[in-house]
Amino acid sequence: MIRILIRTSTEDQNPENQLRDCQSINSYGEAIVIKEQQSAWSDKLRPKMIELKKEIRAGKVKHLIVWDFDRLFRNRKKFKDFLKLLVAYDVKLHSYRQQWFEELHKIPAPWNEIVSDLMVNVYGHMAEDESKKKSDRVKIAYKNRTQKWGRKPISKRVEVDVLKLHQEGKSVREIASTIVYWDKSRNQHKISKSAVHKIIQLKKRTTS
């Protein structure tokens, strides 16, 4: 009846830190942990989120624990719609980073719904606005080619090779171990995992 949802958006992120924090606020019993690596802007490509919704509608979930509200959805409307689903099936939402939300569970009806709706609206606007600002900054950096990768600029050819391997289903680690490039002094280097991750994320931002 208890689920812990852990979402990371890239292969480089470590979900264990999120899980440890979520477990620290779980006082409801043994939980089933759901892990996914997907964008939170849409659930069309989030099979585990779709399955979680099915479990909620089937009455199999009573407590849902997340590390942060943005682990659910970054889109304000989708986030609100999901909260309505939780309310409809009497599922309590708990967040490690928004522990103030626990106080809303204690407010008597009907004020609990009024106050929680207000707080969710405020938080949703803030989270969505911050995410869009970050996306805009990344897009500008990508388009202007001002982004530097560590101490060595990454060529357009390397970016193309990285994206091609990514489309073929290669992991960040596999791509980093495969691609090499040469600096101005003709010294050979392997591309770092962080550079691979940045190239992939910048491409996703510019095509979203």
Q: Band of the pLDDT at 160, cuts 50, 70, 90? A: confident
- All structural domains of the chain with their residue ranges: 2-132, 147-207
Q: If DSSP codes are grouped into helix, strand and coil, which group holds residue 180? A: strand
Token duo for residue 1: 């009846």
- pLDDT at residue 17 greater than cutoff 50: yes
**DSSP-derived secondary structure letter, 80:** H
For domain 2-132, the question of CATH label 3.40.50.300 is answered with no
- pLDDT at residue 176 greater than cutoff 60: yes
- pLDDT at residue 192 greater than cutoff 50: yes
- pLDDT at residue 74 greater than cutoff 90: no
Q: What pLDDT, in 10s, does the model give residues 101-156?
A: 777 667 666 656 666 666 666 666 665 665 566 555 555 655 555 444 444 556 77
Residue 175 CA neighbour count, 13 Å, CB half: 27
